[in-house]
Chains A and B, each alone.
Chain A
Amino acid sequence: MQIKGDKWTPILFITPSIVAVGIFIYGFIGWTGFISFTKWNDVIPDYTRVGFENYRKLFANMRFQIDLHNTLVFTVIFVTSCLLIGLLLAILIDQRIKGEGIFRNLFLLPMAFSFVVSGVIWHWLFNPGSIQLGNIGVNQLFEKVGLNFLICGWYTDPNIGIKAVAVAAIWQFSGYTMALYLAGLRGIPLELREAASIDGADQFQIFYYILLPFLRPITFGAIIILGHISLKIFDLVMAMTGSGPAFSCDVPALFMYDTTFRGNNFARGASIAIILLLLVSLLIIPYLITTFRKEA
């Protein structure tokens, strides 16, 4: 329901925002798209059109291929771990435990951290040390408590690389999925669980047949949010590891930054940005449309 009359004043007041979004988001996306089809790979702009040349070269580029692979690995590890840890923590906290507030606040606290701060700290935690230094960081901790089999080279090991960055990202975001799931669990009517348990359902059946279906929309939303964060990940990698040995920590956003602002290859940078945007849009647009339809 809405108010009738005085039709133009509201439109007048929202117009600056619409214009700003129109120019700075949609206009600029178009502009970046345009740049990605030009020859501008130097300090001086060169708007000679070259069609899909930049894209073709990009997909043939080894660093970009590694980046896409890293993004896939990072996304799978990051999203599934956040979902599983978040769900587990939410269920644990939902058991009427002592000090619930303390646990909840502690698990959520990393969300207030800047990625740069987390990056600096995890850089030192995952620093494997050297022959002179011996084990430092978490490796030293593992050595002290007798978990020597866990000692490894972390982000300095090309076989681990981006997975070490994923651990830091999981530390930062699993509290978020916990908060989502906890809100979801608290929204399930208690009578439902009680009725099921009177009907003879055990804890596992209640979880599988009642709780999980209730939590499905939350899981769906969380996958979209976490997925798009992992596609865009930049700050954390930049502060924690950089590209890493043999680009094992590299991601498209970092490649875009290097190419554009360190290498002045603006057209190629623009083409990386457009690929990133397309990947994010594949996730977000269906989500926005379904959410929008539900509300309308």
Chain B
Amino acid sequence: MKISVTRLLIYIMLAIFTIFYIIPMYIMVVTGMKSFAEVSLDTMWNLPFSLNFNSFNLAWLGSTKGGFRGLSGSFLNSVFLVIPATVISALLGSLNGYVLTKWRFYGSDLIFTMILFGMFIPYQSIIIPLVLTLQKLHVYGTIPGLILVHVIYGLPISTLIFRNYYITVPTEMVEASKIDGANFLGIYRWVIFPLSTPGFAVAMIWQFTSIWNDFLFGLIVTPNPASQPITVALNNLAGSYFVQWNVQIAGALLTVLPPILVYIFLGRFFLKGLLQGSLKG
């Protein structure tokens, strides 16, 4: 078999980039699986002799002796945060997308653009009033408060995803059911919603990943450890001098596991959301 020089060059370049992309993942997996006896910064590139899950154990459960909290509690916080926030924002996004494509009214395009702008703003520019308002509403520092925050600031992207999806649904279908006597909600319930599975898949996977991975809102809205999401807890774990580096890295792996699983099993939808985030339909 003859391989041309160009093809060889292509594979060499791909191999170099593969090393760059794989290094952090390699360190994360290898370090997490080493025993404490084996873990040492000067042998950090070596493969483990045997499988050992003590680092994960410690990162998950914490240690009263070591004086640090494990990630298990905040992992659950993130689960209880991300599920309702994802479902609610997908439902709202679906309704908004339905209105903005099939029931357009005077100024609806302008309203869409104004909603969209919210996707890009630096959240620093709303965070001080947000804290004051959440305190007034007595939900500051709570998971329901954080759910509210993610639903509201998730509106732009979920509206965008569904608007881009419903544009591809022929309006004639909606017109036909209207002639048959269906109203706004009836058409949504019987025509649009049953067609929406791909839209929900993209929107929910996108929201799941970005809410799970959020750090800023969690950091500022839930400063108390009892209601912190996992990214904030990981940052605290990694910022503590009492916690060994292998436990920090094991904690990083635990934190990234749910989005990685989503990526592995539902990557197709993840990519779609990614491309839509850049306004390409």
Contacts and interface: CB of A to CB of B under 8 A. Distances in A.
Nearest to B31: A124
B99 A29 contact: no
B144 interface: no
Interface in B14-59: 14, 17-18, 20-25, 27-28, 41-42, 44-45
Contact of B122 (A13, A115, A232): A232
A13 B24 contact: no
Contacts of A179: 271, 274-275
Contact of A171 (B21, B121, B152, B212): B21
Nearest to A123: B238
Contact-residue size bin, chain B (C-beta under 8 Å from the other chain):
35 or more
A292 to B, nearest CB: 5
A118 B24 contact: yes
B201 interface: no
Q: Is the interface of A mostly helix, strand, loop or mixed?
A: helix
B27 A2 contact: no
Contacts of B249: 120-121, 124
B263 A125 contact: no
A125 B25 CA distance: 11
A150 interface: no
Contacts of A6: 103, 183-184
Contacts of B216: 234-235
Given A239-B238, A276-B122, A136 B42 contact: yes
Contacts of A29: 121, 125-126
Interface string B175-206: 10010000111010000000000000000000
B62 interface: no
Contact of A270 (B121, B128, B231, B234): B128
Interface string B122-136: 111111111001000
A281 B83 CA distance: 32
Given A2-B103, A239-B235, A180 B42 contact: no
Contacts of B115: 17-18, 21
Interface in B49-87: none
A144 B45 contact: yes
A74 B213 CA distance: 22
A238 interface: yes
Contact of B44 (A137, A176, A269): A137
A114 interface: yes
B178 A3 contact: yes
B192 to A, nearest CB: 11
11 contacts: A14-B95, A92-B14, A109-B263, A112-B260, A114-B215, A116-B231, A117-B231, A121-B249, A231-B122, A260-B128, A273-B128
Interface of B: 7, 10-11, 13-14, 17-18, 20-25, 27-28, 41-42, 44-45, 92, 95-96, 98-100, 102-105, 109, 111, 113-118, 120-130, 133, 152-153, 155-156, 159, 171, 174-175, 178, 183-185, 187, 209, 212-216, 219-220, 231-232, 234-235, 238, 245, 248-249, 251-252, 255-256, 259-260, 262-263, 267, 270-271, 274-275, 277-280
Given A117-B234, A183-B275, 19 more contacts: A9-B183, A10-B98, A17-B159, A21-B118, A21-B155, A28-B129, A89-B14, A108-B267, A112-B262, A113-B259, A114-B215, A116-B232, A125-B24, A180-B275, A183-B280, A232-B123, A257-B220, A273-B122, A292-B109
Interface of A: 1-3, 5-7, 9-11, 13-14, 16-18, 20-21, 24-29, 31-32, 35, 85, 88-89, 92-93, 95, 97, 103, 105-125, 127, 129, 133-134, 136-138, 140-141, 144, 171, 175-176, 179-180, 183, 221-222, 225, 228, 231-232, 234-235, 238-239, 253, 256-257, 260-261, 266, 269-270, 272-274, 276-277, 280, 284-285, 288-289, 291-292, 295-296
